[in-house]
Structure formats: C-alpha cells, structure tokens
Structure 1
Amino acid sequence: MYSHQVGAELFRFPDLRTLMARATPLRSGDQLAGIAAATDVERAAAQAALADVPLKTFLSEVVVPYEADEVTRLIIDTHDKAAFAPVSHMTVGDFRDWLLSDAADSAALAALAPGLTPEMAAAVSKLCRAQDLILIASKCRVVTTFRNTLGLEKRLATRLQPNHPTDDLRGIAASTFDGLMYGSGDAVIGINPATDNLHATVELLHLLDEVIQEYAIPTQSCVLSHVTNTMAAIEEGAPVDLTFQSLAGTEAANTSFGINLDILTEGHEATQSLKRGTVGQNCMYFETGQGSCLSADAHHGVDQQTLEARAYAVARKYEPLLVNTVVGFIGPEYLYDGRQIIRAGLEDHFCGKLLGVPMGCDICYTNHAEADQNDMDMLLTLLGAAGINYIMGIPGSDDVMLSYQTTSFHDALYARRVLGLRPAPEFEEWLDKMGLMASDGAFSPARQPPAALSKRMSLLEAQ
C-alpha cells in the first residue's frame, strides 16, 4: 500500500502498478483503460508518493506477473546488480535529483544503463517536467554502427522512408533519390511494404541494395516486413542489412504481433550471420508505440508509458542499430492531442536513452488527432535539443501509403541548421563527395547534384 496526504484528503494506492498509473501525466489511453488519476490532485499525490519509493522496490514488486510474462522474466533475470549499485540506495525522487546533477555525466549514465529496469526509468520520467526529460536525455550517448556510425554527439540522422501505396518500384526509387538529394537516409533507407509477403519483400530489398551499391552509399536498407518474412528472405539469399520488427512491453502483446523472444533471437542470429556491416554489426531495427499493449487487450492494468519502456528492455537484448517510437501513429484513443504526443515523445526518448537503447522518433500524428504540423515542429525541436539519434524523412511530411503525417526531408534540414547538428560522419563525407553538402556542413538545394543521380531521376520522371 502506498499513500500520500494532500490537505485533509488521504490518497491510497494499493500496489505499485496502480501508483504508477495514477502518477502518469494525463493521456487518453490510460483514461480509456480506466486506470488514470481521476483528478490533478490525485495525480500530484501519486507523484509525491512515487518519489518516496526506493528504486530497489522495482526488483521485488513487478507490475506484470513474473510467472505469466517472458518480458518480466527478461527484465528481472538480466538485471545487472553491479551496474545498479551506485544508485541502489536512492528513492525515485533522489534518482531524479541525481540525474539532473553534474555527477550524472555521459560516462556515468552509460555505465548505469544495464542496472536500470524499464519500470525505474518510467517512474522517474513521471516526476520530470519537459526540460528535465530533455536535459537528462541530452547527456545519454548510445552509439551504434553498421555501415556508418549513429548516435554521436551533435549528429542527427534520418530514416529515408520512400513508401508507396502499391509498392511501385519507380515510385519508391523516385522518393529515394529525392531524399538522398536532400541529405536524408543515413539512419536507414526503410520501406513499409504495402503487401507484406515474401515476393514483395525480396523485390524491394534488391531495389534498395542496387541503389546503395551503385552509388557506394554508406548506409543500410530495411524492408519493414515481419521478422519471419525477413528470415525467409535471408534463406532465399536476399540482401538483408537489417531485420525489422514491431515490439511491445508484454508477452501477450508480442504474441498478438506473432513474435516471442525465441523468434527474435532466431531472426537476430540469422541477420548477424550475413555480416553485411562494414563498420559494425548492429543489425536489428525495432519500432514501438504507446498504446500498443492496450490496443491488443494485453496491458495487465499497467499504464501505457510504463509498458512502452518495457518494450525497450526487449529491444536492448538484441543490441539494435535503430529503435524508434512511432509516437502519434496509433491514434487519439491513446494520445489525444499535440500536447499529449509531445509529452509522450519526450518520455519515450528519455526512457530509451536511459536504458541504453539507440532511440529515434517518428514525430507524427494521424489526421483524426487534435494535432497539427506545428505540434510536430515543437516536438522535433525539443527532441533535437535532447540529442535524439534519428527522425523520419518523408516526401512532403505525408506518408501516402500509411496515411499519416510525419517529418519531411526539409524538416531534418531545419533541425540540423537551427541546432547545429550534422549527419552521420560517413554519410556526411559521401554527401560532400557527391556535391550535395559542403565540407563545412552547409546544404543548399542550389548545389548541383551529381550527374548520375540527376540522370536516374530524369529517367524515373520520364517513365
């Protein structure tokens, strides 16, 4: 039992799961689940009570039963006690204060990451205001490598997302060259296939590999098909750089995705065996999103933000190149408006980085949400200041296949210019070599693209 008194009113919370839910900043998903605080006063009381909870409590009181959930077992069984030792005496409130101090520098946070559970990260995030989430995350460096180096300080990468509603190869190629000419694509050139079958996956993989090899681009490709589909493509000899999968924070939700830890391990081992990386072998790409467990009726009465953090524990196991929260994609039933989407994006990035996960964000919203592109501009700017590893780059901010609004090639250029950020170093050298970006980092659409790219674009347009 946890409690906190506000004036004459005593608020009681029967268990840690309830306390965490009541302490969460307001969002529509928790209201839909019936677990949100009824009033702002109750939320404040829950946050005050949560601040007094020892961090050690999260190792003995789990929010999803150990016996019934392999994600909980993964979290508890792989916990690094030695890494946890420097903060093991702290409460959640003490931990927040320490994270904000100069003692919590990049080296200290990197050493601590294996000792933190997702629930610890989620708990402290609930006590943080926006500037706290930004400041603390900005001190976390999570660097990964495949054909380039991602996550370095003062770098902002992009996923070039050339989706097409019919998987038309010409349309996908046109969007890909468009993005490359605007300096996008260093995180990955990644396609969401309209048809998730083996034939389409293999065809798209060959297209992306042809482009990367022909122009010697220091980046990686990915077709965001189901992990089992990608494994089948590997068996057929397809050029797989990264294996993708959507993740959630409970075993039941992952089961609804058609996965478990054994399947992910098999996919990871199959992809690693190809050894297609040149500077490293981080070969997995995962996407997550607040509300996924609730939408699958697999939330166990736990708030959606804590469950989102638990998904990062699954990702962490496989040392991925990329992880991103598709923050506003699931819809207003879970994040109602721009304010909730902005808060969730900052929380997700904070928790992922604190846990040692290479976090990016699909800064996005659906057309029926109470949000617009101005909200996304704010979240983009805040996440850029927080040191996010990568964002999305999509023609005109409008994904014509998935029908949602996100960030464009131009948005990435804005963030890099305003915040003094640059692409991944190997990709930046390629942009300079190809005449798309100057050696001082300046980018201008007036610069002449290389003749080979221009010729390919002209041929595509003619077709």
Structure 2
Amino acid sequence: MSTYHQQISGTTFTFDGLVELMAKATPMRSGDQLAGCAADSDAERAAAAWVLADLPLQTFLDEQVVPYESDEVTRLIIDSHDAEAFSAISHLTVGGLRDWLLTVAAEPGSAARLTAVAPGLTPEMVAAVSKIMRNQDLIAVAKAATVITAFRTTIGLPGTMATRLQPNHPTDDPRGIAAATLDGLLMGSGDAVIGINPATDSPRATSDLLYLLDEIRQRFEIPVQSCVLSHVTTTMELMEKGVPVDLVFQSIAGTEGANSSFGVTVPLLMEANEAGKSLQRGTVGTNVMYLETGQGSALSAGAHIGTGGKPVDQQTLETRAYGLARALDPLLINTVVGFIGPEYLYDGKQIVRAGLEDHFCGKLLGLPMGVDVCYTNHAEADQDDMDTLLTLLGAAGAAFVIAVPGADDIMLGYQSLSFHDALYVRQVLGLKPAPEFEKWMHGLGMTDNAGRVLPIDASNSPLRALASGQ
C-alpha cells in the first residue's frame, strides 16, 4: 500500500494509501465526517487533491479501494475492464484525464469519443477525476456524453429530459394512485416510467398495482413503461405468474456487503435482467432494468470499509454502484441524491454538488443517468436548492428526473420535484419529452404545435375522459 505526501505552506500532509487519499480529496460532506474519513481542513483537502491529480490512472487497476478477494463488485469491475478502450487514456494521470475530458467535450464528435472510452474507465477512476473538477466541469463533460436506452420510449436523446411519474400513496389506495397518475400525465410526466414505491412489499399488493398501471397504459394507449418498486425477488415471482411486469427494479450499492443488506447478489441481478428481457414487452427497445442508488447507502449498512480496514468515502462507493449497474444494461438508473438525510448530505450545497457528481460519473461510465432531486425535511435545504440542481441537471443533459404531486411525497415523507417543475425546466431550457410520448400527447390534443402542454379543456372529449378517469 503506497503512502503519499504533499507539502503546502510548510506543512507536510501524509496519506496512507489510495483509500485515504480519495477520501481526503473529496469535497466536504457530512457522511464522510460521520465515517471519520473526511479531510480535517481545507488545506489537507487541497493537498490530497493535488496528489490525486498527479496519480496515474493505472494505479486504479493495480490497487483496489475494496479488496478483490472479498468483494464481488470489485471482481466484476476488474474482470470486465476493457483494456483496449483504456489504451486511449492509459498514459494519463487523474489530472490529465480531467484535461482530456474537457478538451473532448469542447470538440465535434465528443459523444462518440466518450462512448468509446467508457468501457476502459473504472468507477474509481471516474470518482477520482470528479473530485478535482468544478461544478461547471461536471456539467460540461456530462452534457457532451450521450447515452440512449429504450423500452416503449427512448431515453437519453439529446435535447430531451424524461420524467418518472411517482404516484405514491401511503396505503396503496388505487384511487389515490390513479388520480396522481392522471395528474402527472396531463402535465407531461411519465415518459421515463410510471413508478410506484409500494407501501408494503406484499406480492399481492404489488400485483394489484401492476395490473392497475397496465390497464391505464392500455386504455389510453400510452407509450410508457410502468414499474412497482418492490424487491427484485418479488418481481421475479410475479413474472413467473404472468403478472404484467415491464421493468425490473432494485436498489443497489457499491459493495458486496451493502448489496447483501438489500438482499441481492450480482448473480441474482443478472438472472433478473434475463428474466425481464425474456418477456419481450418492449416496443422500441429491450432495456428492462430500473436501478436506484444514493450516496451514503453503504455507510448506513455498515458496509463501507475498504482496503487496509479504512472507510471508503461515500462518493467513491456510490460510483462503484454504477460499475455494477453498467453490467445490467438498465433502461433507467437514478441517484436519490438527498433522500437518506443530512447525516450524509447536510445542506443544499452538498446536495447540489453530490447530484452533479453522481450524474457526471454515471453518464461517463455509459449509464442513462437520472436524479431524484430531493431532500428530507430535517436537512438544511429547500425548494430553491432543488430549483438550482434541477436547472443544472437540465443543462448537463440528465436523462430524467422524478416528479411527484406538489413536490411532496406523502408516502415516503420527503420533498422532491413537482410535475410543474418538470414543465419549467423543459420550457426554460428548450427540452422535450421522449419522442414517442411527445407524439402521444400531441395526438391527444394535450400539446400545441410548439410542444407546449395545454390547459385541460373540458370540451375536448379525449381529455375529459383522461381527466375524469372514466
């Protein structure tokens, strides 16, 4: 294990190994302070970033932040690494990668070049370079990358931002869920997925909700995919019984231990992906997995310890989850950026930074990256902070965001974005929904020729039926 030194203003800072160096170089966040791995001062953080910038990318193939022998996520990352794709950047340091990314992002053909190099990047390389980038750097490079997936709608096309319509209800009342679903559809939400977090993981309740969403989709001929975010094993059980499952959902994390706390393994997730694909329910594509992550999940599970017995910073562990996600070829993946609470991301500044980091890292690794722009009510954050992050993500080319009625999820008890917020960012930045969904809205008279969502007109018979839920 290497030891690194850097002197600043007469003080020499020492970092005992790659794990400690990565943690100390991370922008301040409360989760790393809780784990005891954060830099003790701005000077120490600057010294660590300086050392990290000069570190050769090859280091991340020679040293693992979580041991190969004891962690299946590490084994997946290393064993699937594409040496040929890496050869284009193998001579670079972390700082050199930052310069290379910014140069490529400013040139024609940037999307193809970033796509070509993605299989050669490990999550740890991407996490490292994000730590020495400013917010504008993260936005510029993410904007230049293009990742496209499809099922019944096409996600990630340049100039689009899709939304997950999240019609959660504290008792899974079908009437409440249907009302929230129709509310979102009438305001142009749902083109990424209509996704319900069930109040319980009961197979019966999950089945009822899946039938409800499928009935709405078929009745109004909506080109959209649905998902009930039950545990992957529940979904697999329902698929075997012929329940109409579109997407297979699972929360994942960046270590084997954290995934074990979710009740999943890499082979189980691979099996679920194949089972979903075998149903062949997509019309324009075959991506079937929907994955969620979030900084701090490994720490909250006590599964954040890396090489040398040292705690790994939460942002590096989050990016490792994207390494697992990449092997599952998902339709959608999003970080639920402020959901766990201020113990992990204390305030609006930390949430905004984490959201941009996560989006950049996921997209650079080749994922259709979205963000749940959210916070808990005991965090030092508010809707102004969410407006800021939403706007920045729109500029960065995020694949999708999550929207709930009134920005208040009454079942999960946290604040997110509203359907109106999604309309705002599309209007201000000139973004469109997924093309199949946009065509459906226009055909139903819900949008004008410029793509603007129209007010509900009671005299319009298709909208009257949709609005009344008849």
Same fold, judged at TM 0.5 (above) = yes
What is the distance in 2 between the residues matched to 1:172 and 1:114? 40
What is the distance in 2 between the residues matched to 1:11 and 1:448? 69
Corresponding position of 2:428: 418
What is the distance in 1 between the residues matched to 2:252 and 2:463? 36
What secondary structure does 1:167 align onto?
Answer: coil
What is the distance in 1 between the residues matched to 2:325 and 2:148? 15
What is the distance in 1 between the residues matched to 2:459 and 2:50? 57
What is the distance in 1 between the residues matched to 2:192 and 2:458? 24
1:106 paired to 2:106: no
Corresponding position of 1:76: 78
In the superposition, the TM-score normalised over structure 2's length comes to: 0.96
Corresponding position of 1:46: 48
What secondary structure does 1:177 align onto?
Answer: helix
What is the distance in 1 between the residues matched to 2:194 and 2:459? 19
Cα displacement string for residues 179-213 of structure 1 (whole angstroms, at most 9, x for unaligned residues): 00000000000000001110011100000000111
1:388 paired to 2:398: yes
Cα displacement string for residues 310-368 of structure 1 (whole angstroms, at most 9, x for unaligned residues): 00011110100000000000000000000000000000000000000110000000000
1:314 paired to 2:324: yes
Alpha-carbon shift at residue 235 of structure 1 (Å): 1.0
Corresponding position of 1:302: 312
Q: Is the 8 A contact 1:435 1:448 kept in 2?
A: no
Q: Is the 8 A contact 1:436 1:449 kept in 2?
A: no
Cα displacement string for residues 398-449 of structure 1 (whole angstroms, at most 9, x for unaligned residues): 0010010000100000000000100001100001001111232122325568
Of all paired residues, the percent bearing the same amino acid is: 65
Cα displacement string for residues 231-262 of structure 1 (whole angstroms, at most 9, x for unaligned residues): 01101110000000000000000000000011
Corresponding position of 2:182: 177
What is the distance in 2 between the residues matched to 1:398 and 1:6? 47
Corresponding position of 2:308: none
Aligned 1:123-134 pairs, distance under 5 A: 123-134=128-139
What secondary structure does 2:170 align onto?
Answer: coil
1:266 paired to 2:271: yes
What is the distance in 2 between the residues matched to 1:253 and 1:47? 27
**Partner amino acid, structure 1, of 2:449:** S
Q: Select the residue among 329, 332, 337 that pairs with 1:327.
A: 337
Change (3 A) 1:295 1:435: same
Corresponding position of 2:159: 154
Corresponding position of 2:195: 190
Q: Is the 8 A contact 1:28 1:336 kept in 2?
A: yes
Q: Is the 8 A contact 2:280 2:286 kept in 1?
A: yes
Aligned 1:238-253 pairs, distance under 5 A: 238-253=243-258
Corresponding position of 1:339: 349
What is the distance in 2 between the residues matched to 1:181 and 1:448? 13
Please provide the CA RMSD for this pair: 1.1
Alpha-carbon shift at residue 454 of structure 1 (Å): 2.5
Corresponding position of 2:5: 3
What secondary structure does 1:383 align onto?
Answer: helix
Change (3 A) 1:319 1:356: same
1:57 paired to 2:59: yes
1:135 paired to 2:140: yes
Corresponding position of 1:27: 29
Alpha-carbon shift at residue 457 of structure 1 (Å): 3.8
What is the distance in 2 between the residues matched to 1:314 and 1:262? 11
1:233 paired to 2:248: no
Q: Is the 8 A contact 2:457 2:463 kept in 1?
A: no
What is the distance in 1 between the residues matched to 2:452 and 2:66? 50
Q: Is the 8 A contact 1:224 1:245 kept in 2?
A: yes
Change (3 A) 1:444 1:202: same
**Partner amino acid, structure 1, of 2:434:** A
Q: Select the residue among 240, 255, 259 that pairs with 2:260.
A: 255
What is the distance in 2 between the residues matched to 1:96 and 1:266? 36
Task: Note the residue ranges of structure 2 that are not aligned, 5 or more in a row.
Answer: 306-310
What secondary structure does 1:147 align onto?
Answer: coil
**Partner amino acid, structure 1, of 2:324:** V
What is the distance in 2 between the residues matched to 1:399 and 1:370? 18
Corresponding position of 1:280: 285
What is the distance in 2 between the residues matched to 1:459 and 1:255? 41
Corresponding position of 1:403: 413
Cα displacement string for residues 38-85 of structure 1 (whole angstroms, at most 9, x for unaligned residues): 000000000000000000100010000000000000000000001111
Aligned 1:430-449 pairs, distance under 5 A: 430-445=440-455
Change (3 A) 1:211 1:346: same
Corresponding position of 2:96: 94
**Partner amino acid, structure 2, of 1:38:** D
Cα displacement string for residues 80-117 of structure 1 (whole angstroms, at most 9, x for unaligned residues): 00111110000000100111113581110000111100
What is the distance in 1 between the residues matched to 2:321 and 2:332? 13
Change (3 A) 1:176 1:241: same
Deviates more, 1:45-54 or 1:263-272: 263-272
What is the distance in 2 between the residues matched to 1:14 and 1:258? 33
1:120 paired to 2:125: yes
1:215 paired to 2:215: no
What is the distance in 2 between the residues matched to 1:139 and 1:12? 36
What secondary structure does 2:88 align onto?
Answer: helix
Change (3 A) 1:167 1:116: same
What secondary structure does 1:323 align onto?
Answer: strand
Corresponding position of 1:200: 205
Alpha-carbon shift at residue 152 of structure 1 (Å): 0.4
